[in-house]
Amino acid sequence: MPDHAPRLLRVDTPEGPCAQLHGRWGAADMGQRAQWRSLKRQLAALPARGELGWDLRELEWLDHVGAQLLWNHWGRAWPQRLALQDSQRDLLERAERFSRDPPPPAPWQMGDEVDRLGVLVLHGLTHARQIVQLVGQLALDVLRLLRAPRRAPWRDISGHLYSMGATALPITALVGFLIGVVLAYLMSLQLRQFGAESFIVNILGISLIRELGPMLAAILVAGRSGSAITAQIGVMRVTEELDAMSVMGIPHGFRLVLPRALGLAIAMPLIAVWTTLAALAGGMLAADIAMDVSPAYFAQALPRAVDTANLTLALSKSVVFGLLIALVGCHWGLRVKPNTQSLGAGTTASVVTSITMVIVVDALFAIVFKNVGI
C-alpha cells in the first residue's frame, strides 16, 4: 500500500542540497500525535534558511495547515530556492497574507497611568453624585409621604416587607444559629484553660448583639435582597418599563426607590434581632454541651452582661444598613443599560458594593460608638 504519511527527504542536486516533501501534508494526516512529532523532528533537523532548497512538487496533498507549518518554519520568509506548483504557491501566499507578527508592546508612560487614575476618580465621583441625588430624592419623597400619606404606595411597601423580610427569616436563623455554635466552641477552648467558663456569656452577648448579629443579617440581606432589587429595576430597564413610567409622569423615586428603602429599613432591625436570637440560641446550646453552662444561667447572666445601649446601637445600625442596601441596589438598577450583559454586571456590582458598604459603615459605627454600653 502507498505510504501517505507526511515526511521529508534531504537530497543533493546540482544546485545544492534540497529538501523534498512527500506524502499528504494536511490536517487529517498530521492530526495523529506520533506523525506530528515525527514531522516536527524532521523539520527541526533542517535549517530554515541558507543554501537549502525546498521541493514541494512531489507532495500528494497540501492544505492550509501544512502551508502554515512550512511558512512558520521558514521564519515567515520565502526561501532562496523553492520549487512548487501554482496551487501550492497560492496556499503559501495566503499564509503569508494572514500571518502577522504581534505588535511590540507600547512603552510605559507615566501620563497613561495618570489618565487611567483620573478616569477611575471621575467614575467614582459620578457614582457618588448619583447616590447623593438618590438620597436627596428619597428625603423629598418621605416629606411627600408625610404630607399626603393616603397617596403613598403602602401596598408596595407591605409587599417588599414580606419579600425582603419574612422570606429571609429561615436562612438568617440557620446561619445565625451555626455562627453561634462555632463561636461558642472556639471560645470554650480558650476560656477552659483559665477556668473562666462563665465569661462566655459576656463574650457571646457583646459580640453577637452589638456587632455580629446586625452585620451578619445585613450581609445576608445584601446578597439576597440587594441583588433582587437591582435585578427587578434592571429588568424594567431592559423591557422599557422605566421609559413608560417616565412618559406617564410616574416618578421613579416615589414608586420604586421609596417603597424598597422604607420596606428594608423597617425589616432590617427585625431581621437583625431574629438573627441575633438564633445565634444566641446556638451559642447557648454549644456552651451547655462543651462547658456545662446551663441555659438557665445563660439567660440569667445575659441581661447583666449586655447593657441596653448595645441593643439600641444594634437596631440603629440595622436601620442604616437597610437604607444603604436599598439605595445601592436601586442605584445600580437604575444604571442598567437595556441589555442582558449590563444587567448581570449591575447585579454583581450591587452585591459587592452593598456588602463592602455594610462592613465599612459597621467599622465607622464601632469607632464612633466605642464607649457605648461598656
Boundaries of domain holding 15: 7-98
Burial class (CB in 10 A: 0-12, 13-18, 19+), 123: exposed
- Three cell numbers, residue 18: 534540497
**In terms of domains, do 300 and 351 share one?**
yes
Burial class (CB in 10 A: 0-12, 13-18, 19+), 100: exposed
For residue 263, tell me if it sits in a domain.
Answer: yes
Q: Which of 40, 63, 98 is the last residue of a domain?
A: 98
Indicate the DSSP class of residue 47. Answer: -
Give the count of beta carbons closer than 10 Å to the beta carbon of residue 16. 12
In degrees and rounded to multiples of 5, residue 262 shows phi and psi of -65, -40
Burial class (CB in 10 A: 0-12, 13-18, 19+), 195: exposed
**In terms of domains, do 156 and 285 share one?**
yes
Q: Which residue(s) pair with 17 in the sheet?
A: 12
**Rounded to whole angstroms, how far apart are CA atoms 310 and 298?**
18
Number of independent structural domains in the chain:
2
For residue 110, tell me if it sits in a domain.
Answer: no
The predicted pLDDT at position 372 comes to 61
Q: Which of 98, 130, 147 is the last residue of a domain?
A: 98
Q: Which of 69, 98, 127 is the last residue of a domain?
A: 98
For residue 206, tell me if it sits in a domain.
Answer: yes
**In terms of domains, do 52 and 149 share one?**
no
The predicted pLDDT at position 339 comes to 85
**In terms of domains, do 138 and 93 share one?**
no
For residue 109, tell me if it sits in a domain.
Answer: no
* CB hemisphere CA count around 80 (13 angstroms): 10
The predicted pLDDT at position 102 comes to 64
User: What pTM, to 2 d.p., does this model score?
Assistant: 0.69
**In terms of domains, do 123 and 90 share one?**
no
Q: Which long-range contacts (CB under 8 A, 24 or more apart) does 301-305 make?
A: 301/198, 301/201, 301/202, 302/201, 302/205, 305/201, 305/202, 305/205, 305/206
For residue 221, tell me if it sits in a domain.
Answer: yes
The predicted pLDDT at position 112 comes to 72
For residue 1, tell me if it sits in a domain.
Answer: no
**In terms of domains, do 19 and 134 share one?**
no
For residue 56, tell me if it sits in a domain.
Answer: yes
The predicted pLDDT at position 349 comes to 92
Could you tell me which of 308, 347, 322 has the C-alpha nearest to residue 265? 322
**In terms of domains, do 362 and 255 share one?**
yes
Q: CATH code at 51? A: 3.30.750
**In terms of domains, do 326 and 362 share one?**
yes
**In terms of domains, do 209 and 326 share one?**
yes
Report mean pLDDT in 10-residue bins for the chain, 374 residues: 70 78 76 74 72 79 80 78 82 78 66 82 90 92 91 90 92 94 86 76 87 92 92 90 89 90 93 94 88 84 85 91 94 89 90 93 87 58
**In terms of domains, do 78 and 204 share one?**
no
For residue 104, tell me if it sits in a domain.
Answer: no
**In terms of domains, do 91 and 23 share one?**
yes
**In terms of domains, do 12 and 65 share one?**
yes
